[in-house]
Amino acid sequence: MPIEYLKQATKTSATGEDETRQIVAGMLTELERDGESAARAYGQKLDGWDGDIEVGSDAIEAAARQVPDQLKDDLKFAYDRVRGFAERQRASIGEFEAELSPGLWAGQRLIPVDTAGCYVPGGRYAHVASAIMSITTAKVAGVKNVIACSAPSQANGGIHPAILYTMDLCEADQILALGGVQGIAAMAFGLFTGNKANILVGPGNRFVAEAKRLLFGRVGIDLFAGPTEILIIADDSADPLIIANDLVGQAEHGPDSPAWLVTTSSDLAERTMAMMPGLIAALPEVQRTAAEAAWRDYGEVVLCDTDEEAVLASDKYAPEHLEIQTSNDNWFVERLKNYGSLFVGEETTVAFGDKCSGTNHILPTKGAGHYTGGLSVHKFIKVVTTQRMTREANESVAAVTARISRLEGMEGHARTGDVRLAKYFPGKNFDLSP
């Protein structure tokens, strides 16, 4: 029996892409052409900010005075766990050099990028956790210069104090009071700082995500991160109240944040769907408006006959966040392949990973989980190779290279092997034809 949609989305992640692309492309052209003046103009127009763009030590100290001690402790709790996880990631990869055949050594070196640009969302919500996820991970990777930016506001007197405090806690080297496309462009083009980012990382709205996509190639990017997604696989052993709350918890991110339920239980599906309107209605106004639109336009409930069908359905979505709440969680863990981050069992949830449990919350969306994982120290490190060999090793390597090159029709390549064989082994005949 084919899977059944008990609720199907009326919109997809591709909705509105063409319009977004045109807007962002025009902005990037103007920002590159006119530089800092254009960035300031967009900051004033879109964020209502006409103050300093480059954040100095006085502003950072003032922000720290506004952050309550309990929040400082909580941010340190999150920072310690994210840093600890990133340090273990860094330790999991290393440099090496190995002798592949007599006289031929090949190796790998790990070189951090010079400058990373970390975008921290600061519009609808104060995403302090995003500062921890991006800046801390870059620093653990060994990045020399980290630029961070976030949207300012007149109400906050600049960047939200908690975000600014967190940026400093995580040791950002340069901080810009710019949000949106103008913030991304400033980091990419080296505006205000004089340092062009080698890689841009961090989540954001569709305009931020599109700006990163259009700049990819000129700079590296972490991945397509945003709008956020959640998919929950559940069976009849799951608690519908927990399921519904977890779906609502992600839907509040924004009106285009998909929330998907894949289940083998029609009873669980119906009970969960019945709870959603009430849980959404109980949210504060801003969150309620976002969650209502997200669930209405992007929410889906998929009913499957078997666990195998549920795995296939989930892997097709390749969700950013994937929760498993079943009576056989480990069976699913062993079979699921496409997701950004996995949350196993009722006891954990996306919000834990989003805020403080240690794994990174900057994760692939829009199906990118089919080919990449989330942000890690590895994204900031170039894995480059080295090679050296003795003259004696040329007897085999140069001859094989010459023959393969001639087979491919690349005579110039072949002769780089010929000339070494003639120099290192004078008078010796080699068969160098393909």
Nearest to 230 by CA among 120, 374, 332, 340: 340
Strands 104-112 and 96-101: antiparallel
Helix (H, G, I), strand (E, B) or coil at 78: helix
Token pair belonging to 345: 């069992």
* Alpha-carbon gap, residue 298 to 227, rounded angstroms: 11
Structure tokens at 328: 């056989």
Helix extents (H) in 123-216? 128-131, 137-141, 161-169, 180-189, 206-215
Answer yes or no: 320 catalytic: yes
Tell me whether residue 95 is one of the annotated catalytic residues: no
Contact 258, 322 (CB under 8 A): no
The tokens for 158 are: 């600049």
Whether the CB-CB separation of 230 and 319 falls below 8 Å is answered with yes
Query: Which residue among 292, 320, 346, 395 is the active-site one?
Result: 320
For the stretch 188-191, contacts whose Cβ atoms lie closer than 8 Å and that sit 24 or more positions apart, written own/partner, are: 188/117, 188/215, 188/218, 188/219, 189/31, 189/32, 189/35, 191/31, 191/35, 191/36, 191/39
Distance, in Å, from the CA atom of 379 to the CA atom of 112, rounded to the nearest integer, reads 9
- Terminus-to-terminus CA distance in the chain, angstroms? 56
d(CA 342, CA 356) in angstroms, rounded, equals: 15
Catalytic residue among 321, 323, 361, 395: 321
Task: Determine the length of the chain.
Answer: 434
Which amino acids are annotated catalytic?
A: 320-321
